[in-house]
Each structure stands twice: as C-alpha cells, then as structure tokens.
Amino acid sequence: MRFKKILVLLLVVSLGLFVLSGCLSMEKNTPAEKESEPATNSQSESKAVVKLQMSHQMANTHSIHQTSLKFAELVQEKSNGTMEIEVFPSAALGTERENLEALQSGVLDMAIIAVEFYPSYVKEAGVFVLPFIYKDFDHQTAVLKGEAGERLKEIILDQTDVKVLSYYSLAFRQVFTTEKPVNTVNDIKGLKIRVPESPTYVNTFTMLGAAPTPVAWGETYTALETGVVQGLENTPESIYSASMHEVTKYMNITDHISAPTTFSISNKVFNKLTEEQQSILIEAAEEAADFGLELTIKNDTEFREKLNEELEIIETDKESMRNAIDYSKFDVMQLDTAKELKELIDSAK
C-alpha cells in the first residue's frame, strides 16, 4: 500500500513538472508583450524596444536589400531607437509565397512582397502588373501614390489581412534572346521565352506570339545554354547579377512590364503597435520607397551600360508589341473592380 502511495506521489510530481515545462516553453516562444512591469535596470529597457523581422528574396547585393536596410535605418531614427527592423535577405525565412502566407497568419512580421504575388489571393492586384500599363516611372509613381494604389491597399487588407505600408518601383523588364533580335513583335513569334510561373506573364507572351515557357529561375541559365528556351525576360540588374548575359546575345528594349513591389506587414502585428509606432512604419516605408525608386533608376542605367558591353542592344518597336495586347483577354479584367482600377491607372498623371 505504501508503495502505491509513493508511486502516485511520483506521478503527480512528474505531471506538475511537465505542465510547468510546457508553460515555460510557451512563454519563450510567445512575442514579448508591449507593456511590461516598471523597472529601472537595463534588461527592462531592452524589453521596451519593439523588434520586427522582415524577409525578402534577393541577395544582399541587390537594390531590394539596400532599400530594406534604408527602411530599417529610417525606422530606428524616427523611433529614437525604440523600434528595430531585422532584415533577412536571400529567402532565409522562406519563399515569397511562404512569406505572404506567414504574414496572413501573423507568424512573420514583415516582408517585401511583389505585387505580382498578390493575385493568387487578390485577383485585382493583377491589374498593376499588366503589360504596358505604365508609360514611365513618373506615371507609375503617380499610380502607386494615388487613388488606384490606395484602393488596392484596401482590397489587399480586406482579403488577406496583410497591410501594404507602401509600394516601390522596380525596373522595367526587357526581353533577352539567344538566336535573333526582336525588332518588332513579329520577330518574337514562336520563340520559347522563359517566363515566371504567373498567368500574367504567360498570357502576355502568348498574345505577343511567343511560346512562353515557365522555368524556375535557378534552372534558367542551363535552359538557355542547352536551347530548352531561346530567351527570357527580366530586369537588366537581375540578368547581369545572375550572369544570364553569358548565354544570351541580344537585349531587346521592350519595357513590357514593370512590376512594383511592396513593404508589407501582418495586420495582426500592425494592430498591436501604438498609433505612433504605426505612423513611424508608414512614414519610413514611404521614404524608403522614394529611396528605392532613385536606386532603381540609378542601377537600371548602370546595368544597361554593363550589358551594352556584353550584348547587342536592340531598340524594339514597342508600339507593335503594345498593339498585340488585348486587355479584355486577361482573366482579371472580367472583374468590375479591376476595370475601375485600370481606369484610375490610365487617368493618373
């Protein structure tokens, strides 16, 4: 009988230790509360600092990373050191799609999410990456900072619970080919062009008469080298950084798509911040976006010059390509809200 009592006592103690260890583990993995008990030591002061993690996909040499660091710098300055942004480049915290899903659930604080990744969740976002939708950077800036951009922010927030703090512009994309130049839209007909796995890109190059071929970015160099594809499209910076100029011959200036990106934050995280902290993030994101635009234009010019030494530059007849695009054939343009957004984009000045 005494043995049974001892056994029961041991079981009770073990259960208590198990529950206690579980609680400690939960506390360790739960983000620190913004309000803490008053204290005067340095440890309590460090708890008052709000630290947010931000993810993006590019290498630490890319302009997106430089712009992300500028954002972090601005946040620290504007908050007098009470807010810190930790930047994770090179998909260290997951792919862009995984980041977007993590923002929705609140597992990830912030991420650089390209507008072209939102259409899988918000169809209307597809309007902002349609081909030849922007005349130039000035027009795009007017769109993103104007009524159209604000309207899309509202739609994204409503449908994903992710808040776009600001947009910023990336360079216009060009077509790079291995066998022949693209002087007019007729020259691209039948060419197997590597495109991202995006309906917008596939539909665009189908309309242009090419044979769009989705290939993972990491496999594209080999695909060009072996003739699986006869060209690709991307920004000069991305082409040069990935050494794609080594396996292509022509840079055809088409300016067919400029897909802006975003500073996005989980709305669950955003709502836990004070109004002052929220304002700091928005202001810093908008200023970083301006910085990013200047950097985009500067880098695009520099990388075009570098590619000019490696490739033959072709000034493609862009009007012939633009005339081949029928916006009504894009699925997104069947939505009334998408039509309204396009009208706002077209009228932006």
* DSSP letter for each residue of 137-179: HHHHHHHHHSHHHHHHHHHHHHHHSEEEEEEE--PPPEEEESS
What's the one-letter identity of residue 186? N
What confidence score (pLDDT) does residue 47 get?
57
Report the pLDDT value the prediction gives residue 59, as an integer from 0 to 100. 83
Specify the pTM.
0.81
Question: Are 187 and 181 in contact, with CB atoms under 8 Å apart?
Answer: yes
Q: Would you state the pLDDT for residue 341?
A: 98
Q: If we measure between CA atoms, which residue out of 135, 120, 202 comes closest to residue 172?
A: 135
Residue 12's pLDDT is 36
Q: What is the CATH number of domain 49-169+259-302?
A: 3.40.190.170
Boundaries of every domain in the chain? 49-169+259-302, 174-258+312-347
CATH 1.10.8.60 is the classification of domain 174-258+312-347: no
Instruction: Note the pLDDT of residue 20.
Output: 35
Mean pLDDT by 10 residues, the chain (349 residues): 41 37 33 36 60 93 93 98 97 92 97 92 95 96 97 98 96 97 98 91 96 91 97 94 95 96 98 98 98 96 97 98 97 96 95
Q: What pLDDT does 217 receive?
A: 81
Asked whether the domain spanning 174-258+312-347 has the same topology as the one spanning 49-169+259-302, the reply is yes
